Amino acid sequence: MDRIELFADGACLGNPGPGGWAYLLRKPGKEKLWGGRDRYTTNNRMELIAVIKGLEVLKSPRVVHVVTDSRYVIDGMTSWIANWKAQGRMDKSGSKPVKNIELWQKLDELCQKHEVTWEWTKGHAGHPENERVDQEASKQALVAKAPREGTNQALD
């Protein structure tokens, strides 16, 4: 089975604010860069959505190596999620649901379909693929910020 590399990043102009996400999927001889946006979101949501969208396009179970600069995503999937599941998807206090629970549940579901490994890379440190997805996510956030054609929205 081919190993797939998934590089993912999210960006937000303000937190919350207009946001963008991007992923780069790579397998031997082929790669795909894709991105999207949300007009009002958080950086953490964009980081999660980037990985989710990348995994969603895989049609069959794969070995996937995810590379991201998000400690939130890495720590969530390699450490925190076991506690969340044991505590009924509640935070440490046990009194509130984990933030972004619907995204964590979707990511967890997707990871059950694939054999996923995780790697953290420092953001803005010259990692070529991380720089590519960062640029695309940032571009998507700028598009999300722009006024929609036909509206009277002013630029910030």
Please name the helix (run of DSSP H) or strand (run of DSSP E) that holds residue 25, with its range, or none: strand 17-27
Which residue of the set 9, 38, 129, 136 is catalytic? 9
Which residue of the set 38, 69, 129, 136 is catalytic? 69
| Cis, peptide link before residue 16, omega less than 30° from 0 | yes
Name 116's bridge partners: 64
Report phi then psi at 37, rounded to 5: -155, 170
Dihedral angle of Cα 57, 60, 64, 67, to the nearest 10 degrees = 10
Catalytic residue list contains 10: yes
Catalytic residue list contains 36: no
Which residue of the set 10, 20, 35, 36 is catalytic? 10
Q: Are 39 and 18 in contact (CB under 8 A)?
A: yes
Which residue of the set 29, 94, 124, 156 is catalytic? 124
Catalytic residue list contains 29: no
Catalytic residue list contains 134: yes
Which residue of the set 17, 35, 47, 54 is catalytic? 47
The C-alpha atoms of residue 151 and residue 147 are separated, in whole angstroms, by: 7
Which residue of the set 35, 38, 54, 134 is catalytic? 134
How far is residue 24 from each of residues 49, 50, 52, measured CA to CA in Å? Answer: 13, 9, 12
Catalytic residue list contains 124: yes
Active site residues: 9-10, 47, 69, 124, 134
